[in-house]
Amino acid sequence: MRRYTRHSGIPGWNQERLASSSAVVIGMGALGSEVARMLAQSGVGHLVLCDGDTVSESNLNRGSLYGATDVGMAKVDAAAAHLSAINPGVHVDPRPTWSSCGVGLSELRDADAVLSCLDSRAARVELARRCNLAGAAMLDGGTWPWGGEVRLYTPDGACYGCALDDAGRAESDEAVRCGAPQNGAASAASAPVSALIGSLMSATAIRMLLDLPVRPGVVSVDATLLSSHRVRAERDPACPLHLTIPAKAVERSPYSSDALVRLLLARLEPGETVLTWADFPSPDDAAARLIQLRDAAPDQRLRDLGVAPGEILTVVREGRPDRYIELARGGRR
Ligand SMILES: [Zn+2]
């Protein structure tokens, strides 16, 4: 294909391999749109884009995908349209919601790369926890006024939460409704710095997709000095985010997140209950997000509660996780 002629001669590049690989991009602000564009131009075959926000005029000073006519559209839908125009050969799967509601644990597990382009600590902690549960690496990026960081966390090493204290990790415990806007205070950001960090993330992601060596850890980039350095990132044995779902305990369900609550509950044994992240308050604790599915209305659809496609739900017996149910990925988004 002539589109990719200039890739030939790049050591380790394999166009067919990229075409058959998939990447999940969580957060479609400036970093996410840079990353998604570069992966699409490179010929990555399947892109899942997840963001519950809409394009605002204040997004237009940076990022390479959105224009004035996109203001008011869901970011993922605007991005999908532009990416399809840039490279019609790429399949783009837009998820207009927040990460734990939009991308299931089995999708994180099975993706060839998970890119975190989020703009808050709480959202990164939550994604780190979910990547660890799924046994997935997390490639995270962050920017500040004249620089930023690229952070690659692998399941056997440090995670984003390892560098935080308990208060920092606990920020993810704040109730966040899947359907509600999640905008934090706007921070300073510009086109060149977003492109700089987005480029480094994209190069790392493509090397991961090509199974070329990458070095886990944190790299800090300073645009005022045109310099970069590695930041120490060690696993904290006390970091509580390192729970992993044992693969042997996962059972595949015929139901997707389109299924009704009662269908899933009917598959439980006596004494079992299912926990899920959901979009309605528990009767016991209005702030809790991890709730028992039996507290939901039986004729609600799982996805209307904020259960993601391909989510892995925890089945609890006598207060302990006993087995896990993996939802099918079909159904509407
Ligand atoms: Zn950790």
Over the range 286-323, which residues count as b (16 or more CB within 10 Å of their CB) and which as e?
eeebebbbeebeeebbbbbbbbbbbbbbbbbeeeeeeb
pLDDT at residue 331 greater than cutoff 60 = no
Nearest to 246 by CA among 168, 146, 324: 324
**Does position 296 have pLDDT exceeding 60, yes or no?**
yes
The Å distance, Cα 136 to ligand 1 centre, comes to: 13
Structural domain harbouring 251: 247-328
How buried is 100 (Cβ within 10 angstroms: 0-12 exposed, 13-18 middle, 19+ buried)?
Answer: buried
Residue 158 Cα to ligand 1 middle (Å): 5
Ligand 1 centroid to Cα of residue 86, in Å, is 37
- Could you tell me if 71 and 31 lie in one domain? yes
pLDDT of residue 188: 87
Determine the residue type at 8.
S
CATH number of the domain within which 290 lies: 3.10.290
Do 251 and 213 share a structural domain? Answer: no
Distance between Cα 225 and ligand 1 center (Å): 31
How sure is the predictor about 180, in pLDDT bands with cuts at 50, 70 and 90? very low
Query: What is d(CA 79, CA 85) in angstroms, rounded to the nearest whole number?
Result: 10
User: What residues sit around ligand 1, an ion, with C-beta below 5 angstroms?
Assistant: 159, 161-162, 239, 241
Exposure string of 132-170, with b = 16+ CB inside 10 Å and e = fewer, is bbbbbbbbbbbbbeebbbbbbbbeeebbbbbbbeeeebe
CA 170 to ligand 1 centroid distance, Å: 13
What would the pLDDT profile of 147-160 be if each residue is shown by its tens digit?
A: 999 999 999 999 99
Q: Residue range 1-10: average pLDDT? A: 94
Alpha carbon distance 76, 97 (integer Å): 9
What DSSP character marks residue 74?
B
Residues 66 and 156 in one domain: yes
- Report pLDDT digits (tens) over 53-66: 999 999 999 988 99
Distance between CA atoms of residues 168 and 173, nearest Å? 10
CA of 122 to the centre of ligand 1 (A): 14
What DSSP assignment string belongs to 199-264?
HHHHHHHHHHHTT-----EEEEEETTTTEEEEE-----TT-TT-----GGGEEEEEEETTSBHHHH
Q: How far is CA 60 from CA 71, 95, 161, 274, in A?
A: 9, 21, 31, 43
Mean pLDDT confidence for 99-120? 95
Asked if residue 262 belongs to a domain, the reply is yes
> pLDDT band at residue 280, thresholds of 50, 70 and 90?
very low
Give 157 Cα–ligand 1 centroid separation in angstroms: 8
- Asked whether residue 184 falls in the same domain as residue 275, the answer is no
Sheet holding 290-292, edge to edge: 250-256, 320-328, 312-317, 272-277, 290-292
- 8-36 pLDDT, tens digit per residue, is 999 999 999 999 999 999 999 999 999 99
Pair 222, 303 in one domain: no
Q: Is the pLDDT of residue 288 over 60?
A: no
pLDDT for 178: 53
* Length of the chain in terms of residues written: 333
pLDDT grade for 99, boundaries at 50, 70 and 90: confident
**Domain final residue pick, 231, 257, 275:** 231
On whether both 259 and 217 belong to a single domain, the answer is: no
Q: Are residues 223 and 307 in the same domain?
A: no
Ligand 1 center from residue 156 Cα (angstroms): 10
Position 241 in a domain? no
155 C-alpha to ligand 1 centroid (Å): 9
According to DSSP, residue 307 is labeled P
Whether 240 is covered by a domain: the verdict is: no
C-beta separation of 206 from 42 below 8 A: yes
Mean pLDDT of 91-107: 93
User: 125: CA distance to ligand 1 center in Å?
Assistant: 9
pLDDT confidence tier of residue 177, bands split at 50, 70 and 90 = very low
Listed as own residue / partner, the contacts of 266-273 with beta carbons closer than 8 Å and 24 or more positions apart are 267/325, 268/315, 269/317, 271/317, 271/318, 272/315, 272/316, 272/317, 272/322, 273/315, 273/316, 273/317
SS3 of 191, please?
Answer: helix
Ligand 1 geometric centre to CA of 235 (Å): 6
Instruction: Supply the mean pLDDT for the chain.
Output: 90
How many angstroms does the Cα of residue 171 sit away from the middle of ligand 1?
Answer: 14
At 248, give phi and psi (nearest 5°).
-70, -20
From the CA of 106, how far away is ligand 1's center (Å)? Answer: 20
Q: Is residue 140 one of the residues assigned to a domain? A: yes
Of the candidates 164, 197, 231, which is a domain's last residue?
A: 231
Q: How remote is the CA of residue 242 from the centroid of ligand 1, in Å?
A: 6
Ligand 1 centroid–CA 103 distance in Å is: 21
For residue 238, is it within any domain? no
Q: How large is the ipTM?
A: 1.00
How many domains are contained in the chain?
A: 2
- In terms of domains, do 169 and 316 share one? no
DSSP classification of residue 130: H
- Give the CATH number of the domain where residue 20 resides: 3.40.50.720
Q: Is residue 81 part of a domain?
A: yes
Decide which of 181, 205, 231 is a domain's last residue. Answer: 231
**Rounded to whole angstroms, how far apart are CA atoms 114 and 130?**
11
Verify that 215 and 281 share a domain, yes or no. Answer: no
242 inside domain:
no
278-297 average pLDDT score: 60
- Confidence label for 276 from pLDDT (cuts 50, 70 and 90): confident
Tokens matching residue 41: 């131009």
Residues 52 and 86 grouped into a single domain? yes
CA 139 to ligand 1 centroid distance, Å = 14
**Helices assigned H by DSSP within 1-148:** 15-19, 30-42, 75-86, 99-102, 105-110, 121-134
Q: How far is the CA of 193 from the centre of ligand 1 (A)?
A: 27
Type and span of the H or E element at 193: helix 191-209
The answer as to whether 236 is a domain residue is no
Distance 159 CA to ligand 1 centre (A): 4
The reply to whether 207 and 77 lie within a common domain is yes
User: pLDDT digit string (tens) for 213-258?
Assistant: 999 999 999 999 999 999 999 999 999 999 999 999 999 999 999 9
Separation of 93 CA from ligand 1 center, angstroms?
29
Instruction: Report how far ligand 1's centroid is from the alpha carbon of 289 (Å).
Output: 21
Supply the pLDDT for residue 320.
86
Calculate how far, in angstroms, residue 233's C-alpha sits from the geometric centre of ligand 1: 10
Q: Is residue 291 located within the same domain as residue 218?
A: no
H or E segment at 194?
Answer: helix 191-209
